[in-house]
Amino acid sequence: MTQRLGILGGTFNPIHFGHLAAAEEVRDRLKLEKGIFIPSFLPPHKSDEDIPSAVQRQEMIRLAIRGNAHFTVSDMEIRRGGRSYTIDTIEALHQAHPGAELYFLTGLDSFLEIRTWKDWDRLMTLCSFVVLSRDGYRFRDIAQLGLLDVPEQELSALDAREKDQMLITGESRPVYLERIPFYDISSTDIRTRVREGRSIKYRLPEAVEHYIIENKLYA
């Protein structure tokens, strides 16, 4: 049977319950065997952000997913070094997992900028995109991209919460649009709270909280 793998790339600076809950929701909905978290070595769009070492961010992921047999973390982008591009990672994953179906999870905000991604048109032929709702962004704006053959009024049904899922098939790989519960947690807020000496409890796993405090991250 074909292995179905969910791919979650990003800075994870730090990973929090919003990341974890969204990943588990998608894994459950799409019946994925694994969710692979891939921390970037040097994210292309966040060069001005205060970022702990890649090894530290990877360790926080390892601590966060401990106990979930469906989740794993990969250091492939860390080992590769340099700037991280999704196309390179997806091609490497195809080599590492021959025949597997890859599902790349990304936020609606990022997907609306897909034309700025490196080799985006080829990327859409190599994996299925799973586009997750983001507070303040509209699914109907996808129609303006001109990439997917779906009427704007159908996308509006997601925005109006009349449906939670939509599968779009076409010439490239399928695209899954997923309205998921909104978790008002952000890595930016967590970093700010640490700098200001405020509590970050219940925003991320306790083991990650302890790691941040013990290693004086974001202080």
Structure tokens at 134: 């983001």
For residue 46, the model assigns a pLDDT of: 59
Q: What is the pLDDT of residues 126-175, one digit of tens each?
A: 999 999 999 999 999 999 998 888 889 999 999 999 999 999 987 779 99
Q: Which residues contact 91 (CB under 8 A, 6 or more apart)?
A: 126
Q: Which residues contact 112 (CB under 8 A, 6 or more apart)?
A: 137, 141, 142, 145
Helices 17-30, 54-65: crossing angle, 10 deg rounding? 60
Cβ atoms of 102 and 127 closer than 8 Å: yes
Q: Is the pLDDT of residue 47 over 70?
A: no
15 burial level (CB within 10 Å; 0-12, 13-18, 19+): buried
For residue 194, the model assigns a pLDDT of: 96
Percent of the chain with pLDDT over 90: 84
For residue 42, the model assigns a pLDDT of: 73
Q: Could you tell me whether strands 175-178 and 165-168 are parallel, antiparallel, or unpaired per DSSP bridges? A: antiparallel
Q: What is the pLDDT of residues 56-109, one digit of tens each?
A: 999 999 999 999 999 999 999 999 988 889 999 999 999 999 999 999 999 999
Residue ranges with strand state E in 164-211: 165-168, 175-178
